[in-house]
Structure 1
């Protein structure tokens, strides 16, 4: 779950990370009230989960109530890269001497947490990585050992932060790591982390992604869902309890198991195609689950062909085949299916599909994942 900036700052505040005083607003009057409470000058910031807000006019400085009202009227309802602004965050403006970058995420290849720290903040870290990679300090952290203040301080020194910023930055980095680990985040990022002329270090922005697998531990996360942006495909999938992520390609993907689903995306890409989604049906490939998966994929107008990739283990091949046949009686598909069925009772499953008499224009079976990928991509590109 990706949080909006103001939600991320509220999350940071739980871990005593200093953020600017302010408040969210859904109306112009609420924005003015938040500005008056925060104290002028204030910054009125569009709350959308997309970059480029400032360039689009979604971040404005207001020195008085009239300007706060004017900016709120202009920003609320604004379209920023296809995202309509429904809420603004109004906060007390900060004087900035320098801007830094810090984040924590998981490096799966290393099986460790990864901290990135740079003296060059306020811009996208990808830009810094491309133009000046030596400006980014990367530190892997063993989850068993955690992050000590001494290690965080040395990272600040290695990143060439000025002496007057090191104490404050060290304190925030340790707190951000705690937020990231105890708060069950996939990503916790501050960009920019600012040094004020007074010497204080302060989180001026917040980017937080929460690990949905940990939601059961956090009933308080329910409050974050009000304005969570989810496309229509993902909403439909969530209603059907499907593990689905929408993408921009033309090949719909259904697989049983996250690893197989990711491998399927890779092989489609390798043979010149592009996936329209990630969809993991797990161990349930019965008619209800399969019909739900096909309904979600069928909803996507960009899908030109569908790749069902099933490796039977606990889920037996004949049950998968029965589920597909029954699902096809429920869902009128706009795109042809290519299926690769392997594993437990795969031959029985393939025979069931053959006996069902489904036209080849609607469903084809291929013996291997590579052959199926080539076929499905060819159909998508036809």
Structure 2
């Protein structure tokens, strides 16, 4: 489960990780006391490039930005709140993240002196500036280990102590919260030598819910309680199937033909028209270009699936649809799709190829 930036920073503060002074707003404010940055609270990366981070020097300017952002969609996600923080006099920016390396089966700390940009860009342009430190989960992570990491990164000695303290505290956040990812990008040193988390990302493991009060987080109250499994991805083609293996195979084929999956969405067995409608509604919340639906009908009836597809097809004429459908009531399902001009195939490969061609 992903937490909003303002929620991550509330947790950071409990661990004595300094963050900029700020507050959350969902409507125009009465007064802006200092030059500030106004940040859309959405659970997607790259919001700055998408116009989700704006600067204001006056109350009037701040309220113009707030009105512009509230209700706007950033990468398909609607903005309901903004975080308003003091504008920092930044001198240095670093990247700091902790996640699980599944190949090594260990937590890994990732640090770079090139902060303020996506870690993927750092890895592509200056990979030598990324330092990784693997943590043995059976042993305690100690402050001197963070200092050693920073020495390897080439950080000047007069900055090492303060930054190492942040790394040590951030690992405790990651461990205590059952994190899957915690990130500060950028971790900044200001001109007056303060070290602060200018941004904050915290993703936590849903399976650890019994150990935590997740009800305090916005994402939990909005958590999808439907009968299908959904995982959001970064592409522009929604991939929907009935069965986890089939849906994963569908994603592989989309990638093979040059597409990029926008989501993994498994409607499961026995899904009816209403479930398919809800699934498509969920998939189409994102800013996508196409939908690939792959159904092997057993207890799932193809005619029910087809009826569920038709509604979304007419409500979103700008989206391209392609369907591969076989199994129970296949003929009835195909008649429904044909009648409504929705492309279908018996082969996954042909269905995906057709979709990619339509998107070109």
Aligned twin of 2:253:
267
Question: In the alignment, which residue of structure 2 is the partner of 1:130?
Answer: 124
Give, in whole Å, the separation in 2 of the partners of 1:273 and 1:305: 11
| Alignment correspondent of 1:286 | 270
How far apart, in 2, do the equivalents of 1:96 and 1:329 lie?
55
Matched, 1:17 2:3: no
Aligned residues: CA RMSD:
3.6
Give the length in aligned residue pairs.
332
- Which residue of the partner structure matches residue 240 of structure 2? 253
User: Which one of 54, 61, 77 corresponds to residue 59 of structure 1?
Assistant: 54
Counterpart in the other structure of 2:62: 72
SS in 2 for 1:44: strand
Q: Structure 2-normalised TM-score?
A: 0.76
| Alignment check: 8 A CA contact 1:25 1:90 kept | yes
1:373 aligns with 2:360: no
- Max radius of gyration: which structure? 1
Q: Contact 2:113–2:129 at 8 Å: present in 1 too?
A: yes
Question: Structure 2 vs 1, CA of residues 256 and 144 (structure 1 numbering), >3 Å: closer, same or farther?
Answer: farther
Shift in Å, 1:361: 7.8
Deviation at 1:118, TM superposition (A): 1.3
Counterparts of 1:57 and 1:252, CA distance in 2: 27
| Cα offset, 1:112, TM superposition | 1.9
Which stretches in structure 1 are left out of the alignment for 5+ residues? 229-234, 310-319, 341-349, 367-371
Deviations 1:11-47 (A, max 9, x none): 21122211123222233335x2xx55xxxx4423222
Equivalent positions of 1:336-355 (< 5 A) are: 337-339=323-325, 350=327, 352-353=328-329
Which residue is equivalent to 1:296?
A: 279
1:276 and 1:90 mapped to 2: Cα distance?
A: 30
Q: CA deviation at 1:201?
A: 2.3
Aligned to 2:27: 27
1: CA distance between counterparts of 2:49 and 2:305?
A: 48
Q: Given the superposition, is the C-alpha separation of residues 373 and 98 from structure 1 closer, same or farther in structure 2, using an over 3 Å criterion?
A: same
Contact 2:94 2:185 in 1 (8 A): yes
1:345 aligned residue: none
* Alpha-carbon distance, 1:254 to partner: 0.9
User: How far apart, in 1, do the equivalents of 2:229 and 2:203 lie?
Assistant: 17
**Pairing of 1:200-211 with structure 2 (within 5 A):** 200-211=194-205
